[in-house]
Amino acid sequence: MTARRSARTRAARLGEAESRVGSARALADGLHPTTVWAFDDLDAVDAWYEGRSPDTFLYYRNGGPNPAALEAAVADLEGAEAGVAAGSGMAAISGAFLAVAQAGDHIVSDQSVYGGTTVLLRTELARLGIATTFVDATDPAAVAAAIRPTTKIVHVESLSNPLLRCPDLSVLAEIAHRAGAILSVDNTFASPILLRPCEHGADIITHSLAKYLGGHSVAVGGVAVGRASIVAAARDRLIRFGGTIGAFDAWMTLQGMKTLPLRMAAHAQNGARVARALADRADIVRVYYPGLTDHPDHVVASRLFPDGLGGMLSFDVGSAATARAFFAAGAEIGIPLAPSLADTRTTVSYPAGTSHRALSRHERYAIGVTDGLIRLSVGIEDADDIVADLDAALTRAKTA
């Protein structure tokens, strides 16, 4: 038996085995854009429906070779039993929630999660009769106090968007499991290279593939991996609601994942360097990076993330006017204002005006998303160049 290879080796060698052409085979994995598969006879169709031909595909919404390869790859890197790919991160989260919760059930969510998730819980799931209580999930007592007999899910982000809060996953898993609920972790900011929530008791893990897993801002999708029974139920919801991923996005994401370990190491190294540089500036009110000792979750984060804290951080420049001037200067200098994250190049975003726009000002301030908050996705460029560009943009913003 060969020893299990490291994540770096497994990632570099991702891709399905191709069928042979003559006496050789393509090294790169194939793209299968077909929407449907042709069968030799009706018996073969019956075999598919009855689960007797597991490696066969029927129709794109039910899966295909490229989504299947992607699902297996993410499940492998996360150390999860199974995975299902979806058309977006929100589709994956919706599929995961609806796999477990139904009308009359209750969810406890961290208050400091991606604004789109907050809105999903508050509007669409509420409409379906699923109630949510939002708490500070870095306070386990608050999570425990919010649990009801009907609670089915405790949901958190391993590194929250945008303030990089870092809940203690194993403590939350214990609280959830004691109540008969599951722990759901959005691991988008961390990636499985820096943290594998399954190892800390999480039951279902979601990602927006448009972020680190894809890594180049060219492919969209989402994925939910974790316990096989939950993944199977999420797959049913995604097939019925119509939230599956296309072959091209699945294939493109897999190309990006081949370099994920190398990229995450570079993002983490640059993230730590840039956080320190920003923290040294007198004109910045506050830097949110869990690697800095003044971050409220520094101790928990240092324990959970031995390989670094990634490339996401936020900093507060004090006012909306300064933020506006910084974005204009950055756009000229070469730090694009782009409301996504995890590209190879450094980008910035404005949570108050994008991801958290649907929250009231009062709600935003309650979780720390102020008018002066800038979210920075530190890329894999030379760290000196990133720091120089940020210095230039900040200096220009101050004098604007």
Query: Residue 244: is it exposed, middle or buried by C-beta count within 10 angstroms (0-12/13-18/19+)?
Result: buried
Instruction: Figure out which of the listed residues 157, 203, 249, 316 binds ligand PLP, where binding follows CB under 6 A.
Output: 157
Residue 89 or 329 having the CB closest to ligand PLP:
89
Alpha-carbon distance 18 to 392, whole Å? 49
| Cβ(232)–Cβ(81) below 8 Å | no
Site string for ligand PLP, 91-130 (x = CB under 6 A): -----------------------x-x--------------
- Select from 156, 131, 160, 130 the least CA-distant residue to 143: 156
Q: Tokens 């897993």 belong to which residue?
A: 213
Question: How many residues at the interface with ligand PLP, by CB under 6 A?
Answer: 13
Kindly state the smallest distance separating residue 36's Cβ from ligand PLP, in Å. Answer: 26
- Using CB under 6 A as the binding rule, the residues of this chain from 240 to 279 that contact ligand PLP are none
Residue 188 or 322 having the CB closest to ligand PLP:
188
Active site residue 186: yes
Alpha-carbon distance 241 to 92, whole Å? 12
- Select from 91, 27, 83, 128 the least CA-distant residue to 226: 83
Kindly state the smallest distance separating residue 179's Cβ from ligand PLP, in Å. Answer: 24
Kindly state the smallest distance separating residue 250's Cβ from ligand PLP, in Å. Answer: 14
Site string for ligand PLP, 209-228 (x = CB under 6 A): -x-----------x------
Alpha-carbon distance 288 to 348, whole Å? 14
- Residue number closest to ligand PLP, CB atom: 89
165 is written with which tokens?
A: 């809060």
- Select from 85, 98, 105 the least CA-distant residue to 237: 98
304-185-264 Cα angle (round to 5): 55
Residue 70 or 325 having the CB closest to ligand PLP:
70
314 counts as binding ligand PLP under rule CB under 6 A: no
Using CB under 6 A, which of the segments 186-194, 248-256, 258-266, 302-310 binds ligand PLP?
A: 186-194
253 is written with which tokens?
A: 């994401």
Kindly state the smallest distance separating residue 97's Cβ from ligand PLP, in Å. Answer: 12
The length of the chain is: 400
Catalytic residue among 152, 165, 211, 235: 211
- Using CB under 6 A as the binding rule, the residues of this chain from 19 to 58 that contact ligand PLP are none
Residues contacting 331, CB < 8 A, separation 6+: 337
Residue 57 or 248 having the CB closest to ligand PLP:
248
| 381: DSSP letter | S
Residues contacting 299, CB < 8 A, separation 6+: none
Kindly state the smallest distance separating residue 314's Cβ from ligand PLP, in Å. Answer: 12
Active site residue 288: no
Using CB under 6 A, which of the segments 104-112, 181-189, 244-252, 274-282 binds ligand PLP?
A: 181-189
Please provide the DSSP assignment of 276-320 as one string.
HHHHT-TT-SEEE-TTSTTSTTHHHHHHH-TT---SEEEEE-SSH
Task: Outline where 126-246 has alpha helix (H).
Answer: 126-127, 140-146, 169-178, 191-194, 228-241
Kindly state the smallest distance separating residue 312's Cβ from ligand PLP, in Å. Answer: 9
Residue 291 or 351 having the CB closest to ligand PLP:
351
Instruction: Figure out which of the listed residues 188, 253, 346, 370 binds ligand PLP, where binding follows CB under 6 A.
Output: 188
Alpha-carbon distance 343 to 120, whole Å? 25
Catalytic residue among 29, 60, 105, 114: 114
Active site residue 61: yes
- Using CB under 6 A as the binding rule, the residues of this chain from 57 to 96 that contact ligand PLP are 88-90
Please provide the DSSP assignment of 81-96 as one string.
SEEEEESSHHHHHHHH
Question: Annotated catalytic sites, by residue?
Answer: 61, 114, 186, 211
Under the rule (CB under 6 A), what is the footprint of ligand PLP?
A: 88-90, 114, 116, 157, 161, 186, 188-189, 208, 210, 222
